């Protein structure tokens, strides 16, 4: 009998940690046996600390969050999904990797490390090739910044037809992007804050890296300059982005929309959380909207589709809006899909067979 892999969720009391619990509770490959807390939620049942709008998953409702050292995690789990804050993540995730636990991380700490793949399965699966071969440590695979995720998915199909030189992007980012409890209500009600610490730097650095190519054990970034301007808005979930692409080539508008519509690079792989297609193109004049489009995608892939709209092509300038669920596509769901791809590619080794 082949069982689900035993999984730990690190930072399970926070926003992304709870999305992990929601997405993994009945996952066909991974069984969340351990919910690891920080100081605030330690010792409490998941239902007592739950703050997502969706129901707490029945299978995990009574499970207690526990403090656990990397050694204690490694004794229980084969794989870890990490929602640890930046700064805290490196020592914990590195220790787990050395103990043979594969880590799928949301933290920005490892993203600049040239030996760690920054992965979106539809965009750059070939970047997994930079993982060291024959290493005794288990892999650490990170997903990119939540705004860079939506942008890289939207740009990937049009890189070839347009050959973008420069991309300007203005973001309208949801409150949950700052975690729980996040931005103080009196700072954001009746307001828009035109600054998110470190966000513009992450978008500018990670997007060309995601669209880049492996050379040996390194990734050579794509020759595209990103000019971001990031703002926090009073929306609960879903990052909206206004994108302006300056192109070197001049395809027709039909060629551009067809590149988006036909994009489905994971079509043959049957990964449980992969949306098909990963991009939904809306024709209405007033879409995408966070309220209406954040949960695009079906079944396990709910919230995993990136929704595009308001496409305008005045060569050499392409303009459009995109919407991507920051905590699902840009957070927990991105890591779960990365783990599903790693499983499908045999990177996690044989599935455990424990018998019953
Ligand atoms: N929010 C998003 O949309 C988003 C998207 C992509 C990536 N990320 C990244 O994902 C990570 C988590 O973000 P978040 O939004 O979920 O933040 P969050 O709501 O603040 O949650 C972080 C959680 O980490 C726990 N924690 C802190 N130190 C710990 C430790 N030493 N061991 C175990 N748990 C510890 C805290 O637990 P206690 O509550 O028990 O103290 C807290 O619940 C961050 O690295 C963030 O940058 C977030």
For the chain, the maximum distance between any two Cα atoms, rounded to a whole number of angstroms, is 63
**pLDDT at site 111:** 83
Give the position, in ligand 1's atom list, of the atom nearest the Cα of 334.
6
- CA distance linking residue 25 with residue 3, whole number of Å: 14
Tell me: pLDDT of 114 over 80: no
Show Cβ contacts of residue 276 under 8 Å, excluding neighbours closer than 6 positions. Answer: 264, 266, 267, 301
Can you name the residues that pair with 30 across neighbouring β-strands? 5
The catalytic site residues sit at 146, 239
- The position carrying tokens 């203005």 is 170
| Atom 47 (ligand 1) nearest CA | 107
Host H or E run for residue 163: none
The token pair at 305 is 């589709």
**What pLDDT digit, counting tens, does each position of 256-294 carry?**
999 999 999 999 999 999 999 999 999 999 999 999 999
Residue 356: pLDDT band (50, 70, 90) is very low
| Atom 37 (ligand 1) nearest CA | 38
Mean pLDDT of the chain: 96
177 Cβ inside 6 Å of ligand 1: yes
Mutate which of 9, 12, 15 for ligand 1 pocket (most atoms within 8 A of beta carbon)? 15
Tell me: pLDDT of 1 over 60: no
Tell me: pLDDT of 355 over 70: no
**What pLDDT digit, counting tens, does each position of 130-184 carry?**
998 888 899 999 999 999 999 999 999 999 999 999 999 999 999 999 999 999 9
146 Cβ inside 6 Å of ligand 1: yes
Host H or E run for residue 228: strand 225-232
The token pair at 116 is 């760690």
- Nearest-CA neighbor of 123 among 332, 334, 353? 334
**What pLDDT digit, counting tens, does each position of 190-212 carry?**
999 999 999 999 999 999 999 99
- CA distance linking residue 266 with residue 108, whole number of Å: 25
**pLDDT at site 313:** 98
40 Cβ inside 6 Å of ligand 1: yes
13 Cβ inside 6 Å of ligand 1: yes
142 Cβ inside 6 Å of ligand 1: no
- CA distance linking residue 32 with residue 82, whole number of Å: 12
- Quick one: CA torsion of 94, 95, 98, 99, rounded to 10 degrees? -140
**What pLDDT digit, counting tens, does each position of 2-33 carry?**
689 999 999 999 999 999 999 999 999 999 99
How far away, in angstroms, is 202 Cα from ligand 1 center?
18
- CA distance linking residue 85 with residue 38, whole number of Å: 10
The SS3 assignment for 245 reads strand
**pLDDT at site 308:** 98
State mean pLDDT over 106-122.
Answer: 88
Host H or E run for residue 222: none
- CA distance linking residue 148 with residue 143, whole number of Å: 10
Give the position, in ligand 1's atom list, of the atom nearest the Cα of 180.
19
Q: Is the four-CA dihedral 168, 248, 211, 156 of positive or negative sign?
A: positive
How far away, in angstroms, is 160 Cα from ligand 1 center?
36
Which spans in 214-278 are helix H? 253-261
Rg from Cα positions in the chain: 20
The CA-atom distances, in angstroms, between 155 and each of 109, 175, 188, 228, 263 are 24, 25, 30, 14, 11
CA atoms within 13 A on the CB side of 55: 6
**What pLDDT digit, counting tens, does each position of 124-135 carry?**
999 999 998 888
Residue 346: pLDDT band (50, 70, 90) is very high
DSSP 136-174: SSPPEEE---HHHHHHHHHHGGGHHHH-EEEEEEEEEE-
| Atom 27 (ligand 1) nearest CA | 38
**pLDDT at site 354:** 59
Pairing label, strands 317-324, 306-314 = antiparallel
**What pLDDT digit, counting tens, does each position of 236-263 carry?**
999 999 999 999 999 999 999 999 999 9
Show Cβ contacts of residue 98 under 8 Å, excluding neighbours closer than 6 positions. Answer: 136, 137
Tell me: pLDDT of 51 over 70: yes
């Amino acid at each position: 009998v082949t069982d689900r892999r035993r999984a730990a969720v690190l930072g399970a009391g926070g926003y992304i940690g709870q999305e992990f619990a929601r997405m993994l509770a009945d996952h066909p490959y991974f069984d969340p046996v351990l919910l690891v807390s920080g100081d605030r939620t330690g010792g409490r049942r998941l239902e007592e600390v739950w703050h997502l709008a969706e129901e707490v998953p029945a299978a995990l409702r009574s499970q207690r969050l526990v403090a656990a050292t990397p050694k204690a995690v490694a004794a229980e789990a084969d794989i870890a999904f990490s929602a640890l804050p930046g700064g805290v993540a490196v020592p914990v995730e590195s220790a787990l990797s050395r103990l043979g636990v594969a880590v799928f991380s949301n933290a920005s700490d490892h993203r600049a490390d040239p030996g760690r793949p920054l992965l979106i399965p539809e965009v750059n699966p070939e970047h997994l090739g930079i993982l060291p071969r024959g290493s005794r440590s288990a892999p650490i695979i990170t997903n990119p910044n939540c705004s860079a995720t939506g942008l890289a998915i939207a740009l990937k199909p049009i890189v070839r037809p347009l050959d973008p030189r420069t991309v300007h992007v203005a973001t309208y980012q949801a409150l949950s992007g700052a975690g729980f409890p996040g931005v103080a209500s009196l700072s954001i009600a009746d307001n828009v804050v035109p600054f998110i610490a470190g966000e513009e730097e992450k978008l500018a650095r990670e997007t060309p890296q995601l669209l880049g190519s492996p050379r040996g054990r390194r990734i050579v970034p794509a020759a595209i300059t990103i000019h971001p301007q990031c703002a926090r808005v009073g929306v609960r979930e879903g990052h909206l982005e206004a994108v302006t692409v300056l192109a070197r080539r001049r395809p027709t508008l039909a060629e551009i929309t067809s590149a988006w519509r036909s994009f489905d690079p994971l079509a043959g792989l049957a990964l449980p959380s992969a949306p098909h297609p990963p991009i939904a193109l809306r024709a209405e004049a007033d879409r995408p909207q966070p309220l209406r489009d954040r949960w695009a995608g079906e079944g396990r892939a709910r919230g995993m589709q990136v929704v595009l709209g308001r496409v305008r092509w005045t060569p050499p300038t392409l303009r459009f809006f995109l919407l991507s669920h920051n905590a699902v596509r840009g957070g927990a769901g991105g890591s779960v899909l990365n783990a599903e791809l790693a499983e499908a590619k045999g990177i996690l080794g044989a599935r455990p067979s424990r018998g019953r």
